[in-house]
Amino acid sequence: MISPKELIAMHEAINIAKNPDTPKGPNPRVGCVILDKSGNYLSRGFHLGSGSDHAEISAIKNAQQDLVGATMVVTLEPCNHSGKTGPCVEAILKSGINKVIIGQKDSTAIGSGGGAVLAKSGIEVIFSPLEPEVSAINPWFSVAMKQQRPYLRLKLATSLDGRIAARDGSSKWITSSAARRLVHQFRTDSSIILSSTKTVIIDDASLLARNSDNDLLKIQPQRVVLGRSEIPQSHRIFKEGVAPLIYPHHDLDSVLADLWSKQFNSVLVEAGPRLTTALLRSGLVNEVLWFQAPILLGDQGLAAVLDLGVETLEKAHKLHPYSVEQVGVDTLTTLQIPVVN
Amino acid sequence: MISPKELIAMHEAINIAKNPDTPKGPNPRVGCVILDKSGNYLSRGFHLGSGSDHAEISAIKNAQQDLVGATMVVTLEPCNHSGKTGPCVEAILKSGINKVIIGQKDSTAIGSGGGAVLAKSGIEVIFSPLEPEVSAINPWFSVAMKQQRPYLRLKLATSLDGRIAARDGSSKWITSSAARRLVHQFRTDSSIILSSTKTVIIDDASLLARNSDNDLLKIQPQRVVLGRSEIPQSHRIFKEGVAPLIYPHHDLDSVLADLWSKQFNSVLVEAGPRLTTALLRSGLVNEVLWFQAPILLGDQGLAAVLDLGVETLEKAHKLHPYSVEQVGVDTLTTLQIPVVN
């Protein structure tokens, strides 16, 4: 049974989660409110991104009063695992809270099961009826849980005629510095940057994320490289940051399953035409981020998208345009591919 | 010598020319004001597009008083030729007006020389100092006069990856009905629709312009087709409208020179990859109108742009992005290529 005061508190927790200062990824945004037995606010908490306290811990720490008999209202099911921080379930049990209202079930590989553990320990656990509103806080995270694999965004940067390099292979830089800065924001919001050995070798790409001051982020997305080509140890990907994960194959389903099991929820792909095309054919792409520079390279340039197996117009790959915006002199078209139930 | 009242009248004529009801093409938008000897307004006139009175004639007709000794203030040099309407110079001489203030010199092949004829007949002719403001009323017309050939707009309609047809040649329709309706507006604003015999044969395109009710326009742009391939007489281009002009060659400079000499000021190109690429290589394109549908066709599809002779990224064809907008589910990117002085 959920009271009107608790329902209002869930709306409040949703608003806290949506705080514009909270990073949009790679961790889901979570808001938490603690109420006393009479439904009065005791404290609030939210999650500020990887490495910082989860919203539940933050709310418990922020409380000035004793929490015995209190109610926690939280947008996402409390975790039952120790990641970079301790498990929330443990902290809740210790606090004396005896009722937990949850906005959205956590069905990630590692995060799930917190509600069941709490219930077994005698805590009243209720899922609120506001699931759609809560899912909308972190649309990519909700999609990832629905499909039980990471949300996959595919970035392309091409000329207006769809080429990623001129005839001689030159490609630095097709897009403007404004577009490249935005790519760093996309990297920052992702838990994985995925590329292929060929692209890493050819571009000597570090695939690291930088902040708006162009400094390397302290907590970097994990870099993942697919393929059998040997990357020289002198390449930048080995010189800077934590070593990349290398999968010596292109079995995309198994790579994504493995990353999901390792608690990675969102992947940004920055790869060459072969991996890009394989992903488009696989149906695993959730979102396409396509930067186009106002230049033409002609058909002697390298095509961004190779053979999709499209024989006739009716069989074209259809995407859902979501937004189009100018980024410096370039255009960014964002397209989404809905998950088939 | 131009008086303050006459200068104010020129600003008024500019505003009249910019009337949103006035078609943006294919004829230039022109505004006209007639003042009496004391600088009081006698009448106003504007040009409502092909086949209707020129602004000068309209202003003379609108005047209630005798015009002997009056001053005409007009944004564009009065014409000296009989097109679909009589020459303005003749009407001005008949009216008794004895001073004409001109905003912009007409240097089209046929329209030019009106000012000189008026001056020879004893009329005081003055060019106003507001030429930049006046040029901006009809930017495409001003560019055409500067380059002494028609303003050339190139339309493309492709998939996101720059393909105009799937592997089997199917291309109807890549873009949405909203985009295709907008193309009819672009046709309406042009004096020429240019294509190639190949495209006309393959698509059986009529290249006629329709209004927003999908009815054929009464006054159509002239259709021009380049190439040697024989178009069957049963094709739509011969069945409807005035016969197309056919040039059995691809000498683009001479075609544009000939069209300019025939008083055509603006060309919309809707052609296949070969003519499109030849035009891009020729440097004759002033503006690119690129529709992109949110679909992918892959590299087995037909490329919109063929070999541009670009060896390396530095030599890419650089365009100036002017605007990007969503048209239905499609994107329209407009790019301009400045005229080199």
Mean pLDDT, to the nearest integer, of B226-235? 94
Among B290, B303, B318, the residue with its CB nearest the CB of A295 is B318
The whole-angstrom separation of Cα A28 and Cα A140 is 9
Confidence of residue B84 (pLDDT cuts 50, 70, 90): low
Please indicate whether, in this complex, the C-beta atoms of B166 and A315 are within 8 angstroms of each other: yes
Question: What pLDDT was estimated at residue B38?
Answer: 93
DSSP secondary structure letter of residue A128: -
**Measuring CA to CA, which residue among A148, A149, A91, A84 is closest to residue A117?**
A91
Residue A310 with chain B: CB contacts under 8 Å: 166-167, 296-298, 300-301
Q: Name the helix (H) or strand (E) containing A15.
A: helix A4-17
Q: Which residues of B are catalytic?
A: 56
Q: Look at residue A336 in the predicted model and tell me its pLDDT.
A: 92
**CA-to-CA dists, residue B266 to A196, B24, B121, B139, B323, angstroms:** 48, 11, 32, 11, 20
User: Does residue B327 sit at the A interface (CB-CB below 8 Å)?
Assistant: no
Segments of chain A scoring below 70 in pLDDT: 82-86, 340-341
Over the Cα atoms of chain B, what is R_g?
22
Task: Specify the CATH superfamily of domain B145-336.
Answer: Dihydrofolate Reductase, subunit A (3.40.430.10)
pLDDT at B339 over 80: no
Closest-CA residue of A relative to B314 is A170
Number of residues in chain B: 341
Among B167, B296, B326, beta carbon nearest to A311: B167
pLDDT at B47: 87
Is 60 exceeded by the pLDDT of residue B83? Answer: no
Residue in chain B lying closest to A323 (CA)? B326
Q: What is the pLDDT of residues B41-58, one digit of tens each?
A: 999 998 887 778 899 999
**Residue B5: its H or E element:** helix B4-17
Contact between A60 and A92 under an 8 Å Cβ cutoff? The reply is yes
Residue B81 pLDDT: 72
Architecture of domain B4-137: 3-Layer(aba) Sandwich (3.40)
pLDDT for the residue numbered A47? 86
Q: Is the pLDDT assigned to residue B340 strictly greater than 70?
A: no
CA pair distance B222, B224, nearest whole angstrom:
6
For position A21, what pLDDT does the model report? Answer: 80
Q: What is the predicted pLDDT for the residue at A256?
A: 97
pLDDT digits (tens, 9 = 90+) for B100-110: 999 999 988 77
How far B138 CA sits from the closest chain A CA (Å)?
A: 25
Which residue ranges does chain A devote to CATH 3.40.140.10? Answer: 4-137
Of the pLDDT bands very low, low, confident and very high (cuts 50, 70, 90), residue B219 is confident
Which ranges in chain B are annotated with CATH 3.40.430.10?
Answer: 145-336
Per-residue pLDDT, B235: 94
Interface confidence, given as ipTM, is: 0.88
pLDDT confidence of residue B82: 59
User: Could you read off the pLDDT of B278-312 as tens digits, one per residue?
Assistant: 999 999 999 999 999 999 999 999 999 999 999 99
Q: Tell me which residues of chain B, numbers 249 to 288, contact chain A at a CB-CB cutoff of 8 Å.
A: 277, 280
Q: What percent of chain B is modeled with pLDDT above 70? A: 98
Specify whether A131 is catalytic: no
Please tell me the predicted confidence (pLDDT) of residue A85. Answer: 55
The position carrying tokens 């989860």 is A54
Q: How confident is the model at residue B85 (pLDDT cuts 50, 70, 90)?
A: low
Rounded Cα distance between B158 and B270, Å, is 12
Can you tell me the distance from the alpha carbon of B88 to that of B74, in angstroms, rounded to the nearest whole number?
A: 11
Q: Which residues of A touch B301 (CB under 8 A)?
A: 310
- Helices A252-261 and A273-282: crossing angle in degrees, nearest 10, is 80
**In this structure, are strands B192-196 and B266-269 parallel, antiparallel, or unpaired?**
parallel
B280: closest chain A residue by CA: A296
Q: φ and ψ at A26, to 5 degrees? A: -80, -20
Q: Residue B112 has what pLDDT?
A: 80
Q: Under 8 Å CB-to-CB from A281, ≥6 apart: which residues? A: A308, A309
**pLDDT-based confidence at residue B87 (cuts at 50, 70, 90):** confident
Q: How many CB pairs under 8 A join A and B?
A: 159
